[in-house]
Amino acid sequence: MKSIRFIALLVLLSIPVTLFAQEKCMDKDIVGPIVKVGVIELGLKFKSRVDTGAKTSSINAYNIKVEGGKSHGKNMKNDLGKSISFTTQNNLGQEQSYTGEIIKVSKIKNAQGVERRYAIRLKIKLGKKIKSIQINLRNRKNLEYKLLLGRNWLENDYLVDVTK
């Protein structure tokens, strides 16, 4: 009996993994670690990094200006609901300015310590699917990927296959 189980296990292990690769799984689209998406409000396309370790998505933003002046540190929460304008640039060097509403101030822990970031809502388009998500504003000008898609973008719609 043990030998039959062992042989069955060997047969299963010998099936190429690509046999299981699909475009959908449990009604979720499968994406790779890098995806090209459009940001509807900006009219720009971004080569984006999918980061399952990041809770919230983040976009390249600089020249950030808050209506009535920016607050700092813990006082940034006083800016909720105010208009915020910024400039962004995709990986092709195309720039666009945008004004939106501050919907959240996030406290982010990273290798440099703790920082607070403003967040707005933007619509991300992949194929025919459009998803409105919260996105943190951060200067990513010196980073390879100007848009980082976190778990809030993946949630309920996408699974990541790192071999894609």
Burial of 153 (0-12, 13-18, 19+ CB in 10 A): buried
pLDDT in tens, 78-135: 999 999 999 999 999 999 999 999 999 998 887 778 889 999 999 999 999 999 999 9
In 71-112, DSSP assigns E strands to: 83-89, 95-101, 104-110
Residues 46-68 have pLDDT tens digits of: 999 999 999 999 999 999 999 98
Give the span between the Cα atoms of 31 and 122, in whole angstroms.
20
What's residue 5's pLDDT? 59
- At residue 13, the pLDDT reads 53
Mean pLDDT lowest for which of 19-33, 58-72, 127-141? 19-33
Check pLDDT > 80 for residue 2.
no
Range scoring the smallest mean pLDDT among 14-18, 51-55, 149-153? 14-18
User: Which domains can be identified in the chain, with CATH numbers?
Assistant: 21-160 (2.40.70.10)
Q: Strand 158-160 and strand 83-89: pairing?
A: unpaired
pLDDT at position 4, please?
A: 59
Q: What is the pLDDT of residue 133?
A: 98
Please give the angle made by the CA atoms of 116, 120 and 125, to the nearest 5 degrees.
Answer: 130
Indicate whether 153 pLDDT > 70: yes
Q: Which residue has the higher pLDDT, 123 or 69?
A: 123
